[in-house]
Structure 1
Amino acid sequence: MNAVRRALGSSAVQVFLVLVGLVWVTPLAGLLMSSLRSAEDTARGGWWTVFSSPGQLSLDNYSALLENAGITRAFWNTVLISVPTTVLVVVLAALAGYAFAWLDFPGRDAVFLVVVALLVVPVQVGLLPVAKLFGQLGLFGTIPGVVLFHVAYGLPFAVFLLRNYFAELPKEMLEAARMDGGGEWRIFTRLVLPVGRPAIASLAIFQFLWVWNDMLVALLFADSSSQPLTVELQSQIRQFGSNIDVLAPGAFVSLVVPVVVFFAFQRHFVQGVMAGSVK
């Protein structure tokens, strides 16, 4: 009887997970089908009509997308914003996290409390003051300006996350490395970074997704030559209304890149999320 209950319970969970997966995948499938249909086909019926008329599917929209100067420029702007921001946040946070966790220097705890306090500062509070500062420095409306803003607001959480992860490393392991003559830089690069790879991968995924999908910061700090894909798609909607043959493939490209990044680092992401949950 218990075996039957366990089997039924397991089946119910599996059915529930399948339903959740279908609910999550359906909008993505609809967007993909819409991106492969012409504007005329889209106006005549919903995306599900491709199952009865597969001849609607075509790569013409993507060919036109590649010829759209605004979309292609915005895509590369997004890459030039997201990748440097993610790299800078991860590198700086890893260095600071190790310092706060294992190096003894004056004011360490006070500085770390300031970093923790910055976690509660909303992004909206700094938009106007930083915009004024960037205007004086000549960074307003440039890709470096957008990158610097994202780095500044991404670092508090990143430092907090990696410091807590590094602090859980066995003290004996680091002391043994020091007794063997290893300097702090060697310990950090050869020991701490490999062991902390799950947390670093999780941080990189979170940071990349946040920056790639950002619109608020880009709307204020980027101009027409440096705006990312999210702002360009919003501008296309505002200018042309229902040009689904451009918006659908553009939105799908904007969506599929973070999905690919997530699945590429999925194993490390799960390890990072589960780290410390099981003793």
Structure 2
Amino acid sequence: MTTAQGTAAPRRRTAARPAKWLSRGVIQVFLLVIGLIWLTPAAGLFLSSLRTEEANASSGWWTALTTPGQLSLDNYTSLLKDSGIVQAFWNTVLISVPTTLAVVVIAALAGYAFAWMEFPGRDWIFLVVVAMLVVPVQIGLLPVAKLFGALGLFGSIPGVVLFHTAYGLPFAIFLLRNYFAEIPKEMLEAARMDGGGEWRIFSQLVLPLGRPAIASLAIFQFLWVWNDMLVALLFADNESQPLTVALQSQMRQFGSNIGVLAPGAFLSLIVPLIVFFVFQRHFVQGIMAGSVK
């Protein structure tokens, strides 16, 4: 009886292997199909940006897969000669990068203070920060515009950066505070017993442990600011407008001019894609961190 049971067990394990491989293969095929569907609009936009306006008007972008001779870089050459588009691209960089850095740095400091430092009114102040999460961005547009006008910041890149930073901080502080609070208390107490001050504990212990959450926050913040048009449409003038506003202006002037809009839209799209794929490992770690703590 024992021998029969011992023989049956390896057989069940052997029979389970093909089923496991099959299920894994089905999942991989499913994820591949989802990935292709997700990338199809980006691929279509890229191919449209490489075709002439006449070709785009007469046939769909997928015809370029069978007749690649219609593809050229003429649209990008013309686009890069447009000083307005080039300036708008650099304006977008000058808005997105400082905003992301400011939000991450301030939120990390505030998140550590709310999680591990004792000071009067800490919990009440944190409740106020959480309450600000429910305030729609549209509510603050008009009063902040009046304030920026009085301060001389309206219609400038610093004004747009300041607005994005202010409205990005509540969620960023909430996220990092909750993540830092999951760090074992014993670890911080041991660091303090070794003579470590608050700044040393924050910079050498908390920041390395919080890298996944910080990276996820940086990706979210960068993508949100890079793709924003509402705030920039109101707070930026013609000299400081980002790429989204410049493309919207081009659409208003030239209508359905795909030769201008397609390469400009793909230029606006490719940077967030590169940022996401470069930092996707940290992004996944940040998403999964809360489920394993």
Gaps of 5+ in 1: none
Does residue 227 of structure 2 align to residue 218 of structure 1? Answer: no
Matched, 1:248 2:234: no
2:190 maps to what in 1? 176
Matched residue of 1:193: which SS? helix
State the distance in 2 between where 1:189 and 1:254 align: 34
1:272 partner SS? helix
CA–CA separation in structure 2 for the residues paired with 1:83 and 1:107: 32
The AA in structure 2 aligned to 1:246 is V
By how many angstroms is 1:47 displaced? 0.9
In structure 1, the partner of 2:213 is 199
Q: Matched residue of 1:119: which SS? A: helix
Give the SS at the match of 1:276.
helix
Q: Distance between the aligned counterparts of 2:65 and 2:284, measured in 1? A: 36
Q: Percent identity, aligned pairs only?
A: 77
Which residue is 2:4 aligned to?
none
User: Is the aligned partner of 1:127 residue 2:121?
Assistant: no
- Which of 113, 130, 135 is the matching residue for 1:116? 130
Structure 1 segments of 4+ aligned residues over 6 angstroms from their partners: none
The Cα offsets for residues 42-86 of structure 1, whole Å up to 9 and x where unpaired, read as 122111111222111111111111101111111001000000000
**What CA distance in whole angstroms lies between the structure 2 residues aligned with 1:53 and 1:13?**
34
State the distance in 1 between where 2:119 and 2:268 align.
44
TM-score, length basis structure 2: 0.92
1:38 to 29, 52, 57: 52
TM-score by length of 1: 0.97
Q: Which string of whole-angstrom CA distances, capped at 9 and with x for unpartnered residues, describes residues 246-277 of structure 1?
A: 11111011001001011111111111110031
Are 1:145 and 2:164 an aligned pair?
A: no
Q: Counterparts of 2:232 and 2:187 in 1: how far apart (Å)?
A: 44
Instruction: Give the Cα–Cα distance (whole angstroms) in 2 for the partners of residues 229 and 6 of structure 1.
Output: 48
Does residue 86 of the first structure (1) align with residue 105 of the second (2)?
no
Larger radius of gyration: 2
1:190 corresponds, among 194, 199, 204, to 204
